[in-house]
Amino acid sequence: MTHTASRPGLTRRQLLARSIAAGASFMVGAGFVAARDGAWAMQTAHLEPRSMATLIQMARDIYPHDQLADEFYAIAVRGYDSPEAAPAMEAGIAALDAAAEGHGHASYLDTHWERDRVDILRGMERSAFFQTVRAGLVTGLYNQPDVWPVFGYEGESFSKGGYLARGFDDIAWL
């Protein structure tokens, strides 16, 4: 994961020039998926870049928080880009795309309304693929310390002396 399009030897412009759109949010090229605006890019070694884009979209559809950037979802699923995990993921994504086609869409990424994507996911809610991705997100997404401040959660407190002098009882509206 790079926060900007800083792949060695490639400028953001060059990177995006080597990519094509994948759904509404992502660009994919040889061995990478990137944000449409180039805000971040992630290389893939074992998953097809389009598959990684699909996983990121699926992650957002399972746990949608509009205040969280795609990058957090990308971090949450990047572990599936491994020799062990990739085959089952590719098979699951193929089934997801087939389900999307069954709903009259070109693919999951080309299903533009969240409501329609959620319908597709509901149809495969009991599959091992869905449950693996969902369960993995519980820690993969919500246990990212960079996510916590978005929800107000303050994390570790011991090094700051706890909350005794930092507002443990500061509620003022009751």
Our finding on whether 155 is near other proteins (CB under 8 A) is yes
**Radius of gyration from C-alpha coordinates of the chain:** 19
CB 52 within 8 A of CB 81: yes
Which residues within the stretch 42-71 sit at the binding site for other proteins (CB under 8 A)? 62-65, 67
Our finding on whether 161 is near other proteins (CB under 8 A) is yes
CB 16 within 8 A of CB 5: yes
Our finding on whether 170 is near other proteins (CB under 8 A) is yes
**Coil/strand/helix, residue 111:** coil
Which residues within the stretch 91-130 sit at the binding site for other proteins (CB under 8 A)? 118
From the CB of 95, what's the least distance to other proteins, in Å? 18
Q: Is 135 left (phi over 0), alpha (psi -120 to 50) or beta?
A: alpha
Our finding on whether 79 is near other proteins (CB under 8 A) is no
Our finding on whether 152 is near other proteins (CB under 8 A) is yes
Report the 10 Å Cβ neighbour count for 22. Answer: 24
- Tokens describing residue 40: 């971040």
Our finding on whether 168 is near other proteins (CB under 8 A) is yes
Residues of the shown chain interacting with other proteins in the complex, contacts defined by CB under 8 A? 62-65, 67, 118, 134, 138-139, 141-143, 147-148, 151-158, 161-164, 166-171, 173-174
